[in-house]
Structures are given as structure tokens and as C-alpha cells.
Amino acid sequence: MGKRKLLVDLSILRHPMCGLGQIALNYGRWFGEHAAELSEALDITLLVPKKYEGAFGRDVHYLRRTSLRHLVPMTMPRFDIWHAISPNTLFRPAWPGTRVILTIHDVNFVHEKKPEKQSKYCKKMQRWCNRADELAFISHFVQEDAGRVLNFEGKPQQVIYNGVEDLTKGSQHRPAAVEPLGDGHFFLSLGEVKEKKNLHTLLPLMERMQDYHLVIAGNDKTEYAQHLRSIAKSKNIHIIGTVNDDERRWLYAHCDALLFPSTAEGFGLPVIEAMQWGLPVFCSNKTSLPEIGSTHAHYFTSDDPQAMETLVREGLAAHNTQKATEEKNYAATFNYEKHMRQYLALYLK
């Protein structure tokens, strides 16, 4: 078989700071670094917003994300393989001969949306599944969860864990919002401040743990963030909004632990990011988190603040150099080289 034309849909780069946007950035970087060595087998095109044309070097082609290509799919060039890195895209192939690989990150609408809205989201994702030839899931939990509400029609399926960028490398910068903490000890909770993150359960915990601060970093332009601010009684809680990569590294490097009580995750990137630093991780026992955190994380089994405090204090006391090293080694298995090579095998199958 000759060289195959591959399109990888990175159109989500219009939102580069969201979780999928960060994944798309790492995809672009990897393809930019490896396209030359793959050139005999694959002719690689990246679907990107205008400002990312040329961002990943000269060995890949670029297709600009435009409204016309969304509204009139027939204006898209023909490709042999199309990788939709998420169903949350406006673009899809028009040519029936194109082999489609679809990555499903979650079906959180089942856990977050009211029943009357679930049907709408389910139908949209089902249409993508109907068009896909092969399906990839970012965790076994997502594969099982999606299988309960979607019909895969016996199509080939594979679990490919997310790659996680090594955050221990690169510069650090202390966020201005945490300057008032001085050298005080603090816990970190990272991610978009939405109801599914279950952050309100940390407020009574922090009232009991006045010897620590809690820094909540992530998009706080939400009603839930406003609600948290209105009910937070303790002065040791700090909602600081979105942080850049340098600030995120600083927070991981200087915090005492990650608190991540989320109740709806397809993967849970902060869990692995924190383990890269050898940090104690305390998360919920819901959805994908026990699978991703494995035996290296500590799990909240209730929202009772006394039980949560006991878990955190005992976990902090038991943490040592050996456990930190085991965490780092475990986190290193979620690397982008391994992740992308698994997709490469799918492309070349």
C-alpha cells in the first residue's frame, strides 16, 4: 500500500487553554517532530485555526479551520484516514471512503445534564459513532460508560490512555494571586471550576484544616465559582482563576498535595500531573479516578469533613521518598511518545 493521506483534527486549538486544547497542542508538537520520519508511509495534514498555520514546522501540511469547511464538508480535501481527537468538533469527512478514527474522552453529559438534555448530547455523539470505523477511549471506564448509552455496532475498539506532558520540565513563575500566602503550606485543586469538580466539599474540610491554605486554580468565570465564593467562610481558601504553564508548574512544585474530589472524569489529568512531582494525591473514588490513580492515590469515600480530614492527615503523614519515587515512575508511563505510537499503529493498520 502506498503513502496514506492522514488528517488529524486539531480545530479545538481555538481554545488552547482547555484540556482538549492542551492535548491538541501536544499532538501538533509530536507530529511536527516526527512527520519527516513518517513521510514514506503518511502524508500528514493538521486541521488548525489560522494562527496555528506553520506552528508545528514544515514537515506537516496545514488545513485552515473555516466556517465554509464546517458548513460545506464537500469543500474539504479527500483523505484516506481522518482522526477526530474528540466528537466535540464541527468538522467531519464528506467522502465515504475515508477511514475515521474517533477518540471518545467521556460521556459526562450522563452525569452532569438533566435527563431532558441527555438525549440531545447522546444523539450527537451517536452520529459520530455511526460514521466512525474505529473507536478509541481514554480509559476503560469511558469505554464501559459510553457503551451503556451508545451503540458501537461491533466496531473495533481500543483503550489508549492520554499522554500527559511532563510538567517537571520548564520554567516556573509564582502567580501573583498567591503572594499573600507567603511561605504558608497549601493544597492545590486544579481544573475548570464547575459543579462536577465537587469543590464545595473541600470548604468544610479547610475550615477544619486551618494550618493549610487551599488554592483553586482554573477557569472561574462560572456560576459555580461565584457560588463557592459566596459560601466560603474560611480565609484560607483562594480561587485564583486560570493560570499559565509557568504558574501551573510553580503551584505543583510548591504545594503539599493535590485535592481533586471531582465526580465526573474521563481521565483526570491533574492526578498524573501531580504524581509527576511525587505529590500526595487525594481524589474521589468516582468514575475514572480509581483506574487512573491506581494504588498511588488516596480516595475520598464520603463528603464528611471529619473523614476527609482523617484521610488527608494520615496520607500526608505516611508519604515518604519511596512513595514519591513510585508515583513519579508510574506517572512516567503516561507519556506522549507511548500514546502517539499507539495511534500510529492504528493509522498504519
Give this prediction's pTM. 0.92
In the predicted structure, residue 112 carries a pLDDT above the cut 90: no
pLDDT tops 60 at residue 229: yes
Q: How confident is the model at residue 121 (pLDDT cuts 50, 70, 90)?
A: confident
Best CA proximity match to 292, nearest among 316, 274, 311: 274
Q: Report the length, in residues, of the chain.
A: 349
Q: Can you spell out the DSSP letters for 285-347?
A: SSTTHHHHHGGGSEEE----HHHHHHHHHHHHHH--HHHHHHHHHHHTTS-HHHHHHHHHHHH
Q: Residue 221 has which C-alpha cell? A: 468565570
Mind listing the pLDDT tens digit for each residue in 77-105?
999 999 999 999 999 999 999 999 999 99
215 vs 255: CA distance, rounded Å:
9
> How far is residue 97 from each of residues 77, 93, 132, measured CA to CA in Å?
12, 9, 11
For 245-258, the pLDDT digits (tens) are 999 999 999 999 99
What integer is the mean pLDDT of 165-189?
A: 94
Q: Which amino acid is at 279?
A: L
DSSP string for residues in 193-261: --GGG-GGGHHHHHHH-TTSEEEEES---SHHHHHHHHH---TTEEEEE---HHHHHHHHHH-SEEEE-
pLDDT band at 1 (very low <50, low <70, confident <90, very high): low
Q: What domains can be seen in the chain, in order of their start residue?
A: 4-163+334-347 (3.40.50.2000), 176-331 (3.40.50.2000)
Dist CA 275 CA 252 (whole Å): 10
CA-CA distance, 53 to 62, in Å (whole number)?
A: 6
| Residue 6, number of CB atoms within 10 A of its CB | 26
* pLDDT-above-70 percentage for the chain: 100
pLDDT for residue 334:
97
Q: Other C-beta atoms within 10 Å of 223: how many?
A: 10
Residues 6+ apart with CB under 8 A from 231: 200, 203
Q: How far are the Cα atoms of 4, 131, 205 from residue 100, in angstroms, in the given order?
A: 13, 7, 46
Q: Which residues of 141-174 are buried (b: 16+ CB within 10 A; e: fewer)?
A: bbbebbeeebebeeeeeeebbbbbbebeeeeeee
Residue 69 is predicted with a pLDDT of 93
The pLDDT-based confidence of 111 (bands split at 50, 70, 90) is confident
Tell me the mean pLDDT in the region 269-281. 97
